[in-house]
Amino acid sequence: MPSLHTGGTAGRLIADAVARFAGRPALADHRTRWTYAELGDWIGRFVTRFQALGLGKGNGIAILTGNRVEPWAAICAANILGIRYTPLHPLAGEDDHAFILADCEARVLIVDAERFGPRALAIRARVPALEHLLSLGPLGGPLDGIPDLLEELPRLEPAPLDPQVEAEDVSLLCYTGGTTGRSKGIMLPHRAIAAMASTIAAEWEWPADLRYAAVTPISHAGGIMLYPIMLMGGSARLLPGFDGAEFCRTVAEERITAAFLVPTIVNTLVEDPALLARHDLSSLGLIVYGAAPMAPDLLRRAIDAFGPIFLQLYGQSEAPQCVTTLRRVDHDLGRPERLGSCGRPTALCDVKLFDADMREVAVGEPGELCVRGPLVMAGYWRRPELTEQAFHGGWLHTGDVARRDAEGFLHIVDRTRDMIISGGFNIYPREVEDALMAHPAVSLAGVIGIPDAKWGEAVKGFVTLRPGAAVEAAELQAHVKAVRGAPWSPKSIDIVARMPLTGLGKVDRKALREPYWRDRTRGVN
């Protein structure tokens, strides 16, 4: 029997949004535009299709698609039925996809035939436990017998949107890299999705007329943001990826009012003032940024270019999107130290900074950021030992080191595993990266530790330069020394044409580190 206090599910959020906002615009891509009522019909048809396959509460599906409307309807249908869903990152390799598909025990894979048809056929052959392959668009030959959902679903009768879920049922089973290289599945229950959506809707400074652009993959932050958009009755425009000209054209033509952009995308736009000048971007009332820190110097330039419309989120897959928020009003150019903060904890999260012995650190001292509250995951899928480590002492250990200032604002220093120990000093790469980014010639910076016979680890920097800029490594080293001090100044700096980025747009420190640690063990991912 369900608990008296259960409730607050993603399934209920979806069903209520369809009912409350039926005639409003809901979702669009470059092919299709749906109202909430039309989205609800497609969700109902996916429910009918899933039930025909015998799928129900506790089963799993996986999705490998680009940013298009139909996968979101499938995700919503899974939430209605209590089916957990696992998104496969569109930029990941075949080995990763095959491992995740087998590990998550998905019975069904839904694939975008146009983009990922060959990949889907390859991983199906590698994962014999997969029962069904469903495609968006024709896939394979007539003998393959792969159903085309775009052809089938319009003929099906939509099922009622009657949520069959409870708060602790797993909604999203997403995967993140582990320090051993093996991805681990993060179980986000409906309770966490509902807490996230409610917090974001209540605490962020959204424009009154909410038209949101999703640029990053809906398999990750770009998609999970759709829950609060639906809760508020806003509309979402799905873009197939980031292209500066396409993004600016879409904002101007469709009068987009809000967007989520990672710092590397913000940097790309700021570095092209001619592009910004060609388009009327005045409709933008909120740019949410996150997934990686934004250097204060870049943030100042972004505010100069777009206005005071920036809001920073801090979270992680284990506690998504809104552990802390640096709101629009907190982005005060008159308080430059504030620009390096990730804000204050949100209302439903308890946040403390602990040392290695789980003692809370004093104001201004670094400690691991730990979280409690309804936002926190249920644990790692089939990894009880990792779950126990993550929840040590009754808190979620984020692996991020932070300092709290006297006003309660948190400042992320870096990942505990990325810390460089050089000559007895603890050096956090982000501190060096921010110093490098403050140099007027530098566009993007990445910092790692490399093996060194004298220092144990030596600080090494990589930078890309702004268009038309020129600078010597020695000048950058002197600049960091002046800004941070001698221990932080890189022993060497490479000026590179292109910085490696992860699929989420973060500087890929693992790729930078790999040539230097290839034959050694450092335990860092």
Query: Beta 108-112 vs 60-64: how paired, if at all?
Result: parallel
Out of 1.10.3720.10, 3.40.630.10, 3.20.20.70, 3.40.50.980, select the CATH number for domain 10-188: 3.40.50.980
Supply the pLDDT for residue 293. Answer: 63
Which amino acid, 204? W
Task: Band the pLDDT of 423: cuts 50, 70, 90.
Answer: low
| Overall average pLDDT of the 49-72 stretch | 96
Checking if the pLDDT of 519 tops 60, the result is: no
8 Å CB contact between 196 and 325: no
Q: How many CA atoms lie within 13 A of 185 on its CB side?
A: 27
8 Å CB contact between 126 and 80: no
Instruction: Please report, for the chain, the start and end positions of each structural domain, with discontinuous segments joined by +.
Output: 10-188, 242-416, 419-517
Top CATH class, 419-517:
alpha beta
Checking if the pLDDT of 144 tops 80, the result is: no
Task: Band the pLDDT of 264: cuts 50, 70, 90.
Answer: confident
Supply the pLDDT for residue 60. Answer: 98
Task: Band the pLDDT of 504: cuts 50, 70, 90.
Answer: low
Task: Band the pLDDT of 62: cuts 50, 70, 90.
Answer: very high
Strand partners, 108: 61, 132
> Which segment of 72-81, 209-218, 261-270 scores lowest on mean pLDDT?
261-270
Checking if the pLDDT of 520 tops 60, the result is: no
Surface-to-core class of residue 429, CB atoms within 10 Å of its CB (0-12 exposed, 13-18 middle, 19+ buried): buried
**Residue pLDDT, tens place only, 76-117:** 999 999 999 999 988 778 888 999 999 999 999 999 998 999
Task: Band the pLDDT of 178: cuts 50, 70, 90.
Answer: very low
Q: How many residues does the chain have?
A: 525
Cβ neighbours of residue 292 closer than 8 Å, sequence gap 6 or more: 262, 263, 264, 504, 505, 506, 507
Give this prediction's pTM: 0.83
Task: Band the pLDDT of 180: cuts 50, 70, 90.
Answer: very low
**Residue pLDDT, tens place only, 326-360:** 999 999 998 888 888 999 999 999 999 999 899 99
Question: Are the folds of 10-188 and 419-517 the same?
Answer: no
Closest CA to 445 of 429, 457, 456, 458: 429
Checking if the pLDDT of 305 tops 70, the result is: yes
86-95, 317-326, 507-516: range with highest mean pLDDT: 317-326
Mean pLDDT, the chain, as a whole number?
A: 91
Assign a CATH topology to domain 242-416.
Rossmann fold (3.40.50)
**Residue pLDDT, tens place only, 112-134:** 998 999 999 999 999 999 999 99
Of 524 and 26, the one with more pLDDT: 26
Residue holding tokens 């891509």? 29
Residue by residue, DSSP assigns 134-146 as EEES--S-TTT--
Checking if the pLDDT of 301 tops 80, the result is: yes
> Which segment of 75-89, 170-184, 196-210, 430-444 scores lowest on mean pLDDT?
170-184
Supply the pLDDT for residue 177. Answer: 58
Supply the pLDDT for residue 199. Answer: 98
Supply the pLDDT for residue 321. Answer: 94
Element (H, E) at 494: strand 492-495
**Residue pLDDT, tens place only, 240-251:** 988 999 999 999
Checking if the pLDDT of 306 tops 90, the result is: yes
Cβ neighbours of residue 362 closer than 8 Å, sequence gap 6 or more: none
What share of the chain in percent tops pLDDT 90? 73
Checking if the pLDDT of 155 tops 80, the result is: yes
